[in-house]
Amino acid sequence: MSFKTKFSIIITLIIMVVFLVIVIVDEISAVRNMEQEANKEMRVIATQFSSTIAEEMRYSEQSGGNLYYNAAGKLQSIVDMLKKTDPQILEVSVFVHRSDVSEGNSLSVEEQARPYVAFGDYNYRDESNDAAKIAQAVKEQYVVREVMLLDREVLKSYYSSGPSSPYVVGIVYDCTGFHQIVDLKRMRALQHAGFIFLFAWVSSYLLSGVLLRPLRDILWKVNEVSQGRFDSVIQVHGKDEFSLLGLKINAMSQNLTIYMDKLRKAFEDNRRMNNYLQSFINHTSDAIHVVDLEGRITQVNHAFEQLFGYTSEEAVGGNLQLIPDSHRSEMKLIINSLLSGRVLPAQETVRVTRTGEIIPVSVTVSPIRNDQGAVQAFASITRDMRSRNRMEELLRHSEKLTTVGQLAAGVAHEIRNPLTTLRGFLQLQQQSQQLKLEHTALMLSELDRINLIVGEFLILAKPQATRFATKDVRNVLKDVMSLLDSEANMYNVVFTTSFTDSPCLVSCEENQLKQVFINLLKNGIEAMPSGGRIHSHIAVKNEQITIAITDEGIGIPEDMIPKIGNPFFTGKESGTGLGMMISQRIIHSHQGLMDIQSQVNVGTTVTITLPALNNEQNEGILNVMEQS
């Protein structure tokens, strides 16, 4: 059912209800008025009867005659005249009080309960009620009631001129007449109601069509908007509330068009970005997994399945033990740091696969936050470091072999000098056939030097297991400088030092640290083809040991410094670029830093910072060294 029809029905029903209320009120008022007229007429008739009866009673008393015989004919003529004048008067009865009748008479209880009719008819009998109403009329003078007698609805009135009068006039009035009038008025009212209903229905339907036309346009526009069609416009001609509403809906439709265009563009951008991210996550070689705050994995990529051996169905929703027990405290520190807002770099650590294999990895953990900025999960990017570690080991070995080959000439020259001394002393002793102790001491010293040089050469030449030990970095650098001293002399390069007197103990792998110093000193020598000075400075500050090696060479251009350490990037014609890369990796593995400062045609300074052992460790180690 349309709103127009509903509106018409409501208006019509309201009009009909109002009309019916008016009809009912009018009918009740008409009935009441006719009853009042009937009561008034019956009261007048009863008054006349009472007056006639009173006169006849006075006449009878004066004449000494019988009241009934004297007044019967006169009263009957009055009754007949009233019936002719008003056909609705059915009968007139004159009742006598039972108290008056019973005086001097002995009446039974049943006889006293029945009214005593002195004059007139008593066809419409209702003896028990009539007796009560007669007694009430003696007290109240006039009583009327409506009753159904002889299949006819009548009004019975009872009138008494007062307690002193022995007579009560009863009149029976027919209600059929004014009920017929009321029925006729009701019929006409219903006819009028039908006409009014039809008129109200048609007029309200037409009126609703006129009033609701703007609302239909608004409804049409809303339907268009709901279907995603925003181009249509409501035609507004007036300035009423519906017209203003139409204007606002047009403006809303235009704004929705703009917002929908932006939303479609944002949705398309979001879809493309989502596809891009999904493609990146699923096709990257790094294992990616997301863990909620309770440790459950919520998402993994294909590389995670390959690295750890778990399928996505096994991983998602589970709490996998990927971290060895020895590294759980390390992971707790990382999580606490991320929750405090810190940004952490990649951490080199180990993880456990499904088969129980412990593998070296590089892990980057990042927090995932909700709209309120609270951390709700952590995303981990895990890179397998086994291949890189093997490659680094091969590169380190290759660089070491290259270094050994380059040192071969210097080592041979360094060994040739003490051999020449030994040969000279042996020839001298052979010629003199005498053994001199001072010559023997010098010969043993030269042999020890040859043994030291050969030992250092062998350490660099053959692979060594990575074992960290406590060493004084001053002694390590001195050993390297003594090893390269002969090569420096060949290039007219002089080594100078300024070392602190305080112990410079570090936890290091001595061979790797020597390889770094050899690489830096050789770079300094090669940077000064015309000779010069390489100064080494070692200092201790804030529980850190600083080693600075400065040359007076050709320097490095500023734009090349950030690229130093990249594989196969070098400024030398015969270089490989692997030396500085391996040196930086070695320093980083020792929890240190390497900084390069250079100026063209002035020189280069390479500063290495290593963590020093604390004072308690230094004292304990020094005590052990002194005792040994």
List, as own/partner pairs, every contact residues 71-79 make where C-beta atoms lie below 8 angstroms and the sequence separation is at least 24, other chains included.
71/119, 72/119, 75/49, 75/119, 75/120, 76/119, 76/120, 78/48, 78/49, 78/52, 79/120
389-463 maps to CATH 1.10.287: yes
- CA dist 468 and 452 (Å) reads 22
3-state percent breakdown (helix, strand, coil) of the chain, nearest 5: 55, 20, 25
End-to-end CA distance of the chain: 109
Question: What's the full length of the chain, in residues?
Answer: 628
- Whether residue 94 contacts residue 122, with contact meaning beta carbons closer than 8 Å, is answered with no
| CATH class of the domain whose range is 3-184 | alpha beta
Average pLDDT, the chain: 77
Nearest to 2 by CA among 219, 198, 233, 242: 219
Query: What number of H helices and E strands is found in the chain?
Result: 17, 17
Q: Which superfamily is assigned to 468-628 in CATH?
A: Histidine kinase-like ATPase, C-terminal domain (3.30.565.10)
pLDDT at 101: 46
Beta strands 493-499 and 469-472, pairing class = unpaired
What tokens were used for 489? 């002399």
CA distance 595 to 553: 17
pLDDT given for residue 461 in this prediction: 52
Q: Is 442 exposed, middle or buried (0-12, 13-18, 19+ CB in 10 A)?
A: middle
Among candidates 568, 588, 587, 586, which has minimal Cα distance to 578?
Answer: 568
Classify 68 as helix, strand or coil: helix
Task: Report the candidate in 465, 456, 513, 464 with the shortest Cα–Cα distance to residue 484.
Answer: 456
- Distance between CA 407 and CA 487 in Å, rounded? 8
**Distance (Å, whole) CA 51 – CA 36:** 22
pLDDT number for residue 103: 46
Regions of the chain with pLDDT less than 50: 100-105, 617-628
pLDDT at 389: 79
DSSP 327: G
C-beta neighbour count of 599 within 10 angstroms: 12
Place of tokens 């320093």: 587
Q: How high is the pLDDT of residue 620?
A: 46
Check residue 406 and give its pLDDT. Answer: 58
Cα atoms in the Cβ-side hemisphere of radius 13 Å centred on 22: 10
Type of residue numbered 340: S
3-state SS record for 550-575 = ECCCCCCCHHHHHHCCCCCCCCCCCC
Q: What is the pLDDT of residue 163?
A: 72
Q: Which fold has domain 286-384?
A: Beta-Lactamase (3.30.450)
Instruction: Say how far residue 235 (Cα) sits from the centre of its chain.
Output: 41
Quick one: pLDDT at residue 547? Answer: 94
